[in-house]
Structures are given as C-alpha cells and as structure tokens.
C-alpha cells in the first residue's frame, strides 16, 4: 500500500502545528500591544526614551553587552530576582517603595531590539537606572573604563576605547574621569574623557527603570 500521501499529510500537520504555536499564536496575542496611558495622570507606560538613551541603545547593541547581561525580571513564583534585585547588587536592603515587578512583553515596546538576553554572566540590568542601585555617573564611567577599578574580581571586559586620553589644555574638563588610580591614572597633564558613545551609553543605562505601573504586571511585595 502506498503510504506517501499519509506521510506528507503528517509532515504538513507537524509543521502547521509548530507554525500555529510559535508564530501565529504569539503574533495574535502580543502583536498589537500598545503603551498604556494612565487616565488620571496621563503618564504613558512604558515611557518614551530620551534621544540620548536611544543612541545609547545602539552602543549597547554594538558592544555585545547583551551576551552577558539580561534585562528581564522573572516573576516571584519562578525566581528570587525581585527579592534580591536591590539587596545584593549594591549592598542595599530590599525596598518595597521601589515597586519592583516582573517584566512583561509590553516592557520591551520601546526597545529596538529587545535586549532580553540569554545569560547572566553579569547582573541583570532591567532596573539598573533606579536611584537606589546606581552610585553616580562618574562611577558608571569608571566601571566601563575598567571594571576592575570598581569591582576587583570582575570578568567584564574593559571598554576603554569608548574613552579618550587627551592633554589638558587650559582648564581640565569637568567631564574627565575621576578616581583613576594606580596603573589607570593618566600621566600628569593628561585626562581621560568619555567619547560621545560612552556618554550616550551611560544615559541609556540610567534610563533602565522598569517599575512604572502596567495592568498585567502588578507590583509584588518584597520580603
Ligand atoms: C564577559 C561578560 C560581560 C560583558 C560582555 C559585559 N559585562 Fe557588564 N558585567 C559583567 C560582570 C561579570 C559584572 C559584575 C562585576 C562588575 O561589577 O564588574 C558586570 C557588571 C556590570 C554593571 C554593574 C551592574 C551593577 O549592578 O552594579 C554594569 C552597569 C554593566 N556591567 C554594564 C555593561 C555594559 C554597558 C556592557 C557593554 C558595553 C557590559 N556590561 C558588557 C560581565 C559583562
């Protein structure tokens, strides 16, 4: 008996089921997501990114930061991201005023592309811009210039090429990196200043705050 038609139908059904589940269903459910607007305050969630942050997103993509950093907070029933997010990273106590919550598809509407990430070789950066977490702008620059200055055992690569060493002419620049000591310190008469790429990358990192309200992702209480 010739069973080839049956085999072909079987193959077709297998592919059709995969297409329905992996393509059609997600597009139907997530394809038309729009930002939410608060009826009282008029606030839009997720908020628009500043021009600098959009430029910084491209530097983030170009430098492969996503290969080590995720931007996704897992729900409390799956993982302890929310409970330890703040506590571990900067030695702070968890703070329920931060309104931490899991990230959902709508959080990535402003991202081109979405840096969800697959690995956490470094810490998750979904909420890196929250005031409690970031120390100062100059610390961000010092860290990118050489992570070992801020975190001695860090395996993060140094992004020194995003900074330029230049001779001080007249007054030192107020953008020059401070706290560069030992082998990192520029010679007297020289200073290290961030390039445009480093400045927009820092602006992008500071924009990473995913604690605005969304109806499908209520804030989960921290212990
Ligand atoms: C090889 C993996 C790797 C790559 C690539 C990488 N990082 Fe990191 N990153 C780490 C590790 C590990 C840490 C934790 C140790 C430390 O603070 O340096 C870290 C820490 C950080 C922190 C501090 C996080 C905190 O909670 O204090 C920031 C910000 C950061 N990285 C940004 C970046 C940016 C921006 C890029 C791309 C330009 C990048 N990283 C690329 C591994 C990486």
Q: What is the pLDDT of residues 24-48, one digit of tens each?
A: 999 999 989 999 998 888 889 999 9
Radius of gyration of the chain (CA): 23
CA distance 147 to 158: 6
Instruction: Tell me, using a 6 A CB cutoff, whether residue 155 lines ligand 1.
Output: yes
CA distance 30 to 28: 6
Token pair 């100059």: residue: 138
Of the candidate ranges 113-122, 162-171, 177-186, the one whose mean pLDDT is the lowest: 177-186
Instruction: Tell me, using a 6 A CB cutoff, whether residue 87 lines ligand 1.
Output: no
Instruction: Tell me, using a 6 A CB cutoff, whether residue 123 lines ligand 1.
Output: yes
- Tens digits of per-residue pLDDT, 43-62? 899 999 999 999 999 999 99
Burial label, 75 (beta-carbon count in 10 A; 0-12, 13-18, 19+): middle
Instruction: Tell me, using a 6 A CB cutoff, whether residue 67 lines ligand 1.
Output: yes
By the 8 A CB rule, do 67 and 185 touch? no
Instruction: Tell me, using a 6 A CB cutoff, whether residue 92 lines ligand 1.
Output: no
What is the whole-number distance in angstroms between the Cα of residue 77 and the centre of ligand 1? 26
By the 8 A CB rule, do 159 and 114 touch? no
Is pLDDT at 126 greater than 70 in this prediction?
Answer: yes
- Tens digits of per-residue pLDDT, 192-211? 999 999 999 999 999 999 98
Mean pLDDT rounded to a whole number for the chain? 89
Using CA atoms in the order 145, 151, 153, 156, what is the torsion angle rounded to 10 degrees? -40
For 11, 40, 65, 71, the CA distances from 115, given in Å and listed in that order, are: 34, 31, 9, 6
Instruction: Tell me, using a 6 A CB cutoff, whether residue 213 lines ligand 1.
Output: no
Confidence band (pLDDT; 50, 70, 90) for 93? low
What is the whole-number distance in angstroms between the Cα of residue 120 and the centre of ligand 1? 10
Mean pLDDT, to the nearest integer, of 142-164? 94
- Nearest-CA residue for ligand 1 atom 41 is 65
Q: And the tokens for 221?
A: 């209480």
Confidence band (pLDDT; 50, 70, 90) for 84? confident
Would you state the pLDDT for residue 167? 93
Instruction: Tell me, using a 6 A CB cutoff, whether residue 122 lines ligand 1.
Output: yes
- Nearest-CA residue for ligand 1 atom 31 is 122
Q: Note the residue count of the chain.
A: 223
């Amino acid at each position: 008996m010739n069973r080839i038609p049956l085999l072909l139908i079987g193959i077709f059904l297998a592919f059709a089921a995969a297409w329905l589940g992996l393509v059609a269903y997600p597009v139907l459910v997530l394809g038309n997501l729009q930002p939410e607007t608060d009826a009282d305050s008029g606030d839009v969630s997720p908020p628009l990114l500043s021009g600098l942050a959009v430029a910084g997103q491209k530097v983030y993509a170009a430098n492969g930061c996503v290969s080590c950093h995720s931007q996704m907070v897992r729900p409390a029933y799956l993982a302890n991201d929310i409970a330890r997010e703040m506590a571990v990273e900067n030695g702070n106590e968890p703070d329920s005023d931060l309104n931490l919550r899991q990230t959902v598809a709508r959080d990535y509407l402003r991202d081109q592309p979405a840096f969800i990430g697959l690995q956490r070789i470094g810490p998750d950066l979904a909420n890196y811009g929250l005031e409690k977490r970031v120390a100062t702008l100059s610390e961000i620059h010092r860290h990118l210039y050489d992570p070992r200055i801020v975190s001695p055992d860090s395996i993060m690569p140094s992004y020194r090429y995003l900074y330029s060493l230049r001779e001080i002419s007249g007054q030192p620049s107020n953008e020059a990196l401070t706290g560069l000591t030992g082998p990192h310190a520029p010679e007297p008469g020289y200073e290290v200043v961030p390039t445009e790429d480093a400045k927009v990358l820092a602006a992008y990192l500071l924009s990473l705050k995913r604690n605005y309200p969304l109806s499908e992702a209520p804030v989960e209480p921290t212990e």
